[in-house]
Structure 1
Amino acid sequence: MNQQHEHLADLREIRNIMDRSSRFISLSGLSGIFAGLFAMAGAALVKWYLSQHNIVYRSDYSVNLNWDVITFLVSVALVVLVLALGSAVFFTSRQAQRVNQKIWDSKSQRLVLNLAIPLAVGGVFCGLLLYHGVIYLVAPSMLIFYGLGLINGSKYTLSDIRYLGICEIILGLLASFFIGYGLLAWTIGFGVLHIIYGTLMYFKYERK
């Protein structure tokens, strides 16, 4: 009986090794935390800017915003994206060195490709929404496509990221119904959820 348990344990270990060898396991929880902090700072800046222009998102989400406001919102989103990507590259590179894994190999390439496809489609779709003046669906769409990207990429990295993707999609769908809360949903999705996810991943995989 003990021998059977040992064989099962060996099989589980072999399966775990094979699974890890086919996945990019160096994603850092710290990158998630910093991405969340950057997103919350961006949301706070947007909130301040809207208040300076007497725009209350919850009641004015359906108004036709002028291009100065739209340009500011897009600029903040791009800055948050660049900072989040920068922190992801920095902390993930550091984590890859710790676990002796290459930062750019076939596994990370598959991860980036499968993550980038839904994000690129989502970016184009959000651009079309802005072009047609459907401002109130931009934030929910960003959450939904981002969630799809995470789920699509989870096959090539830590499976925990799938749960973050599911949460982002659910939040995006809720924000599509309650469109007056799009900015709040964006803050929770890209800010709070990232910080929670990053903290959990840090203590689960990195703090040893």
Structure 2
Amino acid sequence: MSSEDYLKDITEIKNLMSKSSRFISLSGLSGILAGIYALIGAAYAYWLVATSARGYLILDGKIFNLILLDMVLVFVLSVGTGIYLTTQKAKKNGEKIWDATTKRLLTSLLVPLVAGGIYTLTILSQQRYGQTGALMLLFYGLALVNASKYTLGYIKYLGYTEIILGLLCAIYPGYGFWFWVLGFGVMHILYGILMYYKYEKK
């Protein structure tokens, strides 16, 4: 057996090990669409506040409830689109969508995400709105970094970016809305484009 054959075998073994330990069916298109959903939701929220009589949010106000519903819809659409496109990609590539790696990925992602969501809701219930954008970005970034060891692509770097934006948002709370738009909208679109062109475009 020639040295080229050895190298080929080693490469195949490395690829098999990577596939067995990492979830590789994430769809770049789902990242792009999640970013678009976030931008549309942010534009609607901005319009609600800009056209309101008060010009600010209160916990029991109609505007706040509409914005909360807006955020829930963005989240549901993003997750639903991600699950659908990722499942379709896995089926197309003949890969399992639910295995031990997927379970580890979800656990690593959901623990900081759920903890952050509960903490953010607690802050909102105390009418402390100023840091909610920073908290959302920080916990989301930590969740991505924590889950990145079980997947491929730019997840880790997206997580680091979200953490940096969250810290900047905490330092400059007056620009929290724009940091949120940059983190959940623009960065998701850029990440999705990079993922699509590197792993999906033939």
Residue 192 of structure 1 deviates from its aligned partner by 0.3
1:142 counterpart SS class: helix
> Which structure 1 residue ranges, 4+ long, deviate > 2 Å from structure 2?
5-17
Structure 2 residue aligned with 1:33: 32
Whole-Å separation in 2 of the counterparts to 1:82 and 1:21:
29
Structure 1 residues 57-98: Cα deviation after superposition (integer angstroms, max 9, x where no partner): xxx6xxx62422332222111110000011101110111012
Whole-Å separation in 2 of the counterparts to 1:96 and 1:86:
15
Provide the aligned C-alpha RMSD in A.
1.8
Aligned ranges 1:188-207 → 2 under 5 Å: 188-207=182-201
Structure 1 residue aligned with 2:51: 52
Match of 1:67 among 60, 79, 93: 60
Whole-Å separation in 1 of the counterparts to 2:97 and 2:105:
11
1:90 equivalenced with 2:84 (yes/no)? yes
Whole-Å separation in 2 of the counterparts to 1:52 and 1:148:
35
Mean alpha-carbon deviation: is it higher for 11-20 or for 171-180? 11-20
Structure 1 residues 81-138: Cα deviation after superposition (integer angstroms, max 9, x where no partner): 0000111011101110121112222211211111111110010110111012210111
Aligned ranges 1:12-161 → 2 under 5 Å: 12-54=11-53, 65-68=58-61, 69-161=63-155
Could you state the TM-score of these two structures normalised by the residue count of structure 1? 0.89
Structure 1 residue aligned with 2:159: 165
How many positions carry a matched residue from both structures? 200
Amino acid at match of 1:113: T
Whole-Å separation in 2 of the counterparts to 1:55 and 1:8:
68
Whole-Å separation in 2 of the counterparts to 1:40 and 1:127:
22
Whole-Å separation in 2 of the counterparts to 1:161 and 1:167:
10
**Unpaired runs of 5+ in structure 2?**
none
Could you state the TM-score of these two structures normalised by the residue count of structure 2? 0.92
